[in-house]
Amino acid sequence: MRFYRTLLRLYPTSFWAEYRDELCCAFADRTRELRGPFAALTILLAALADVIPNALAAHWDVLRQDLGYAARSLLRTPGFALTAVLVVALGVGANTAVFSLADFVFVRPLPYRDADRLVKLWQGSEVGRNEVSPANYRDWKAAGKETTSSFSGMGAYCFHAANLVGAGDPRRLETVQATPDVLPLLGVSPLIGRVFTARDAEAGQVVLLSYAFWQSQFGGERSVIGRSVRLDGVTHTVIGVMPPLFQFPNRSIEAWMPLVLREENFEDRSDTYLEVLARLRRGVSAEQARRELAVVSARLERQYPKDNEGIGALMLGLRDELSERARLLLIALCGAALCILLLACANLASLFLARGAHRARELAVRSALGAGRDRLVRQLVTETVGLSLVGGAVGVAAAVAGMPLLARLVPSTLPIAEQASLDLRVLALATGFVLLTGFAFGLAPALRAGRSNALDALRSGTRTGGGRTQRLRAALVVVEVAASVILLILSGLLIRAVWRIQAIDPGFVTEDVLTLRTTLPLPRYEPVVRRAQFYERVLEQVRALPGVRSAAYVTGLPMSHRGGIWPVSLTGEEVLPNDQNMASLRYLTPRYFATLGIPLRRGRDVAETDSREQPFVAVVSESFVQRHWPNQDPLGKRFHMAFDERTVVGVVGDVRVRGLERPSEPQVYLPYRQVEDGSIIGYIPKDLVVRTEGPSERGTPGLLPRIREIVKAADPEQPISHVRTMAEIVAEETAPRVTQLWLLGALSAIALLIAGFGIHGLLTFTVSQRAQELGVRRALGAQTGDIIGLVLREGLALALIGTAIGIAVAYAAARGMGALLFEVRPEDPLTITVAAALCLVTAVLGCLRPALRAASADPLSALRTE
């Protein structure tokens, strides 16, 4: 019987309190007749069978009633219900979206087996990290073969783009060449076919396809295995297809080929181009592995002092590829989302407190009519949680819908999909946010309302919600104002940063330039004369097209090809590469400067006549002159670069090669013919730039197809890739920032709105509470202005406190994101002033209606209500 009595606690408290004695009675009566050896067991089972289903059903009954009641009471105050749902949706939606993005980029495991044990090795020196030379890779790997090694495997790969012929139109294929160890290290098996073997690494000429490429070029036919494709003019056999979600090292790679390392590749230790991937042995810590690498590289340093001096081995996780800026961008967004959550919580708490105060009488009446306290609290909780759940569902739905908009913030350097997806963990997180907003900030007021003494409420008429509630609500308004000031200042600083970046002169005219890439395959195009034929033919015909003003070929476009630097020596003696003598190197055809709108300051452009038989010449940028011959006439000066002595024949304006936000090396431009056959192949001109008469959108009718025809006629096997306008390339520079700003801007606007409503709600309530006092004041002769001033002062005091707190926190936060601010100081007075002013204006607007209402109230009627 005691057991049954305990079980009865499973019923809803109200039911239990009402019927527990009778239930015991009836159960005792019913089981009294039971006799026999199994009576105890039968009673036990009967108790369980009786209580559990009925308790559940009773809970369901109560819930249904409460939901019905909540729905009715919320429908009576649709403004409140809608506001609450929107506020929760906002907080939950913003946080779900931003945190799933952060989770996706920072936390979620990369799509390889035991991805956290995979590391990348770099050659590290004081200047930073570098790719690895084949010889150093071989020595590291040899050391790793020892049984005590920290690594269970090591492999190397490098990026390689190849022209594909033999599967539809010729096209440019982004591939990776990898040693046979790499794919097994990742622990991913091919969907069909096989991966590379040691024999492939000697012979080459096989290829593994990505799933997407297999689908698009071969229609997903399984018979693709064994088919031949021609890559850069060499026949390769397809040996396998990787699974759909596999990407390595990032999503742009469409095929993998074996990396063939021959004896001659190991000769030059200073030629660094390999990316090295390794897997930590189980139970080995990163620290142990680092120590071991230090020992190995110290040995190599002693063995090869000339090349390896100061070169260590740097070990980084796969996620460390993420740039500092991308990381900060996301962290800033997370911070903003948390601000919104804080705001939503404060607002919700304020809303529920006000509602609790409004309903105190209703609750008191119900309580007086016999509703138990538990029953009332339970009903309020149902209402709160119901509202939060609806708001949460709306928020999550909005977050899912908004995910594609955030795609720009997913860094392309990581092997993850383009778009964050919602997974169970993020949903759990979202539920957490809902419970936090709903329970913590709805429950407290509910409990308060349940606790309040029924009789007191009835006795005090309408004057409810004592001083404590008011002070709490005032504090919440301060929090709301502070949060919105923080958001406003941070977005303001970032807007100023983007403006500054966008105002930077890139050094060329971005409008009306179409660019595309034709990478000439080697070894076919190793002879300069063969390349010259191609360029001449294409350029001559493109320049003749209607609507084309000029055209030229260049090694790489600014902001697209950021590297490509070479040491400069004035004397011809060999120099060690360092910050003081590196210059950006480009080979080009004549009229490149005119096409891109780079101003020619002195001398002349390169010419078709600048051939190998003529003196070697160069056009240099102003900063190059400034660095080497300040205050001298640069024309006719000589310097050594790229294996030959060059004479300066022209000076042009500087270009932001490395992008708008970074300083660039001085630039040197060399005529495309003044190079030996098969030499400096990394700098062969491949980008065609075309200046058009009007806007050169990619869709310029007829232009692109005509250029395609011209290229096809010049070389039917030559693919075209990277079709973009120069304006797009420049816009890409600030695209992630602009996306982030849109988000931050939207969040700040919403925050401001919420804070404004918070102030409005609080003051409206205070004014109605103080109607009598205000009436007395008016009756005693207070003017309209006095009353308005009284209410405004109260609102503005809160706004000022909030603004001060907000400015302090924003300053601290801004100092932490210096890398994003691009020379805008965290204490930027303009931004802070504008943000504070915006906030105060909003506060005044929020105060205005309640103030006017207070002023226009009839003193007599206010007094009469007493």
Backbone angles phi and psi of 149, in degrees to 5? -60, 155
- How big is the CA angle at 197 (ends 194 and 201), to the nearest 5 degrees? 125
Kindly state the DSSP code that residue 8 receives in the 8-state scheme: G
- By beta-carbon proximity to other proteins, the closer residue of 44 and 393 is 44
- By beta-carbon proximity to other proteins, the closer residue of 29 and 613 is 29
Q: At closest approach, how far in Å is the CB of 764 from other proteins?
A: 37
Q: At closest approach, how far in Å is the CB of 30 from other proteins?
A: 6
Which part of the chain contacts other proteins (CB under 8 A), choosing from 14-22, 393-401, 536-544, 627-635? 14-22
Kindly state the DSSP code that residue 222 receives in the 8-state scheme: G
Which part of the chain contacts other proteins (CB under 8 A), choosing from 22-30, 239-247, 406-414, 787-795? 22-30
- By beta-carbon proximity to other proteins, the closer residue of 52 and 127 is 52
Please give the Cα distance from 518 to 536 (Å, whole number).
14
- By beta-carbon proximity to other proteins, the closer residue of 18 and 267 is 18
Which part of the chain contacts other proteins (CB under 8 A), choosing from 20-28, 95-103, 463-471, 677-685? 20-28
Q: At closest approach, how far in Å is the CB of 42 from other proteins?
A: 13
Which part of the chain contacts other proteins (CB under 8 A), choosing from 15-23, 106-114, 190-198, 625-633? 15-23
Please give the Cα distance from 359 to 375 (Å, whole number).
15
- By beta-carbon proximity to other proteins, the closer residue of 51 and 854 is 51
DSSP string, 67-103: HHHHHHHHHHSHHHHHHHHHHHHHHHHHHHHHHHHHI
Please give the Cα distance from 511 to 595 (Å, whole number).
11
- By beta-carbon proximity to other proteins, the closer residue of 14 and 125 is 14
Kindly state the DSSP code that residue 116 receives in the 8-state scheme: G
Q: At closest approach, how far in Å is the CB of 47 from other proteins?
A: 9
Of 5, 13, 24, 728, the one binding other proteins (CB under 8 A) is 24
- By beta-carbon proximity to other proteins, the closer residue of 30 and 145 is 30
Interface with other proteins includes 26 (CB under 8 A)?
yes
Q: At closest approach, how far in Å is the CB of 44 from other proteins?
A: 14
Q: At closest approach, how far in Å is the CB of 50 from other proteins?
A: 4
Q: At closest approach, how far in Å is the CB of 61 from other proteins?
A: 7
User: How many residues make up the chain in this entry?
Assistant: 866
Q: At closest approach, how far in Å is the CB of 29 from other proteins?
A: 4
Q: Of all helices (H) and strands (E), which one includes residue 676?
A: none
Q: At closest approach, how far in Å is the CB of 383 from other proteins?
A: 20
Q: At closest approach, how far in Å is the CB of 848 from other proteins?
A: 45
- By beta-carbon proximity to other proteins, the closer residue of 57 and 812 is 57
Is residue 519 within 8 Å of residue 685, measured between CB atoms?
no
Kindly state the DSSP code that residue 106 receives in the 8-state scheme: I
Is residue 68 within 8 Å of residue 24, measured between CB atoms?
no
- By beta-carbon proximity to other proteins, the closer residue of 63 and 800 is 63
Interface with other proteins includes 376 (CB under 8 A)?
no
Q: At closest approach, how far in Å is the CB of 369 from other proteins?
A: 13
Q: Which residues contact 276 (CB under 8 A, 6 or more apart)?
A: 120, 121, 122, 132, 137, 140, 154, 155, 156
Nearest-10 crossing angle of helices 424-435, 78-102? 140
Is residue 374 within 8 Å of residue 363, measured between CB atoms?
no
- By beta-carbon proximity to other proteins, the closer residue of 62 and 387 is 62
Please give the Cα distance from 423 to 70 (Å, whole number).
32
- By beta-carbon proximity to other proteins, the closer residue of 5 and 604 is 5
Q: At closest approach, how far in Å is the CB of 788 from other proteins?
A: 49
- By beta-carbon proximity to other proteins, the closer residue of 54 and 152 is 54
Of 9, 30, 815, 864, the one binding other proteins (CB under 8 A) is 30
Amino acid at 642: A
DSSP string, 263-280: GGGGS-TT---BEEEEEE
Q: Output the six-digit token pair for 6.
A: 């305990």
Paired with 228 in beta bridges are: 237
Interface with other proteins includes 25 (CB under 8 A)?
yes
Q: Output the six-digit token pair for 24.
A: 């015991």
Task: Report how many residues bind other proteins under the rule CB under 8 A.
Answer: 22
Interface with other proteins includes 1 (CB under 8 A)?
no
Which part of the chain contacts other proteins (CB under 8 A), choosing from 25-33, 107-115, 353-361, 366-374? 25-33
- By beta-carbon proximity to other proteins, the closer residue of 15 and 140 is 15
Cis bond before residue 577 (omega within 30° of 0): no
Residues 107-136 that bind other proteins (CB under 8 A): none
Is residue 447 within 8 Å of residue 801, measured between CB atoms?
no
Interface with other proteins includes 767 (CB under 8 A)?
no
Q: At closest approach, how far in Å is the CB of 480 from other proteins?
A: 42
Interface with other proteins includes 18 (CB under 8 A)?
yes
Which part of the chain contacts other proteins (CB under 8 A), choosing from 18-26, 497-505, 692-700, 784-792? 18-26
- By beta-carbon proximity to other proteins, the closer residue of 28 and 295 is 28
Judged on CB neighbours under 10 Å (0-12, 13-18, 19+), 310 is exposed
Largest CA distance in the chain: 121
Q: At closest approach, how far in Å is the CB of 69 from other proteins?
A: 13
Interface with other proteins includes 808 (CB under 8 A)?
no
Which part of the chain contacts other proteins (CB under 8 A), choosing from 26-34, 671-679, 711-719, 731-739? 26-34
State the CB neighbour count (10 A cutoff) for residue 202.
11
Q: Which residues contact 299 (CB under 8 A, 6 or more apart)?
A: none
Backbone angles phi and psi of 549, in degrees to 5? -90, -45
Q: How many helices (H) and strands (E) does the chain have?
A: 26, 22
Is residue 153 within 8 Å of residue 185, measured between CB atoms?
yes
- By beta-carbon proximity to other proteins, the closer residue of 48 and 107 is 48
- By beta-carbon proximity to other proteins, the closer residue of 16 and 439 is 16
Please give the Cα distance from 165 to 235 (Å, whole number).
9
Q: At closest approach, how far in Å is the CB of 70 from other proteins?
A: 18
- By beta-carbon proximity to other proteins, the closer residue of 28 and 529 is 28
Q: Output the six-digit token pair for 501.
A: 């970046």
Please give the Cα distance from 260 to 207 (Å, whole number).
13
Per-residue contact flags (x/-) with other proteins for residues 36 to 75, judged by CB under 8 A? ----------x--xxx-xxx-xx--x--------------
Q: At closest approach, how far in Å is the CB of 77 from other proteins?
A: 24
CA 36 to chain centre: 72
Please give the Cα distance from 715 to 115 (Å, whole number).
44
Per-residue contact flags (x/-) with other proteins for residues 137 to 166, judged by CB under 8 A? ------------------------------
Q: At closest approach, how far in Å is the CB of 757 from other proteins?
A: 39
**Residue numbers at the binding site for other proteins (CB under 8 A):** 15, 18-19, 21-27, 29-30, 46, 49-51, 53-55, 57-58, 61
